[in-house]
Each structure stands twice: as structure tokens, then as C-alpha cells.
Amino acid sequence: MIEIKASKLISQDEEFNRGVFATRDIAKGELIHVAPVLTYPNEQDEFIERTTLADYVFNYGANHSAVLLGYGSLFNHSYTPNASYELDFDNLSVEFYAYTDIKAGDEILINYNGDEDCDDPLWFNEKD
């Protein structure tokens, strides 16, 4: 259903230019991927921020962050996403669903803000 390929959203000159793509048509509401998570307390963010992992972690509840396994951390951002995600605390995972119909070959994109309609600036684009 999904595969990892080079993303055209990210400069091909960049070392990490991957994205998640549909290998077949995916209907709106369909489960795309379940990513197991490794959680850690937010107090440990200062250590994670010193690593490449800082660009791939998700907020996971009020007091934790999480490293997503599987393809979970490879979905790229869009303010007009075709996918959404839900945190599943009972199963320590994040579930990705089609927010719109997705055609085979399309890159699957989520809104990093967590709400499909939120257009707040992303943390990595904000000025210090």
C-alpha cells in the first residue's frame, strides 16, 4: 500500500529527501499505516534536541514525546494534507488514515500541527 521514495518536496541536494508514497489508490478514511512508538518523558527533550532524532519525534500526550517506528516519522508535512494521524495510547502507536482519496503514486502528507486545518507556523520555521 505504501513505499518510501525520494520526495520532490525536499531539495534533491539534501541528504534526507524521503517521503511516503501510495502504491495503490487509497480511499478516504482508510487506515494507511500503524507506527509503533518508543516514548520518553519530555524532560529528556534536551538530549534528543542534540541529535538528528529531534526532526522526527512527535508530541505524544501532555508529558511525553515519541520516536515513531515503521514509516511513521517519514511522512512529510503539508498545510493541505491528504492524510491524518491519531495517537493510540492504549497500543503505544500512531495510526495514519487517508484524509482524502489518495491516488497511486501520490506522496502521502500530514499536517505536522496535528490538525488538518491548522496553518500555524511549524516549530522549525519559527524565528528564535
* pLDDT tens-digit map of 8-45: 987 666 667 899 999 999 999 999 999 999 999 999 99
According to the model, what pLDDT value does residue 78 have? 94
Which residues, at least 6 apart from 17, have a Cβ–Cβ distance to it below 8 Å?
6, 7, 10, 11
Which pTM value belongs to this model? 0.90
Q: Which domains does the chain have, with CATH numbers?
A: 2-118 (2.170.270.10)
- Report pLDDT digits (tens) over 35-74: 999 999 999 999 999 998 998 999 999 999 999 999 999 9
Tell me how far apart the alpha carbons of residues 37 and 115 are, in angstroms, rounded to a whole number: 20
- Report pLDDT digits (tens) over 61-120: 999 999 999 999 999 999 999 999 999 999 999 999 999 999 999 999 999 998 999 999
Tell me how far apart the alpha carbons of residues 33 and 26 are, in angstroms, rounded to a whole number: 12
